[in-house]
Amino acid sequence: MLENIKMLLGLDDGKYDKLILYQIDKVTKKVLSHCNINQLNPVLEGLVEEKVYNAMKNKTSGNNVATDNNNNIKSVTRGDTRIEYNVGEAKTEVLEATDFDTSDIKLLNQFRKLRK
């Protein structure tokens, strides 16, 4: 999985290996816990890779992203272009890149086992 994620991110060195391995472990534990299984199959490995890739792509890209105290994005700078957002007091729920959305839950439920 590590090599696949590094390939998708365009990484050749080992600079982010520890962080990627941490994310793989974190997402794998979530998947195994949700499905009540002990080992990933190839389909679930693909889901783990996708989630880790999404979590890592902002950390490894060269984009400058400014956040406020709550990790809400305030501005994004790409090259000579800067986009600023008005971060107000709106009540929103922010999902982490490693959280499961409804399509992920649908896929995970296909592999879910009943507890004994």
Q: Is 42 contained in some domain?
A: yes
Q: pTM of the entire structure?
A: 0.69
Rounded to whole angstroms, the Cα distance separating 34 from 116 reads 15
pLDDT at position 18? 94
Count CA atoms closer than 13 A to 110's CA, side-chain side.
10
Per residue in 5-43, pLDDT (tens digit) is: 999 988 888 889 999 999 999 999 999 999 999 999 999
Q: Could you list the residue range(s) of the whole structural domain that residue 91 is in?
A: 1-111
Number of domains in the chain: 1
pLDDT at position 69? 53
Rounded to whole angstroms, the Cα distance separating 81 from 5 reads 28
Per residue in 41-81, pLDDT (tens digit) is: 999 999 999 999 988 887 776 555 555 555 566 677 777 77
Q: Is 59 contained in some domain?
A: yes
Mean pLDDT of 86-100: 64
Q: Is 116 contained in some domain?
A: no
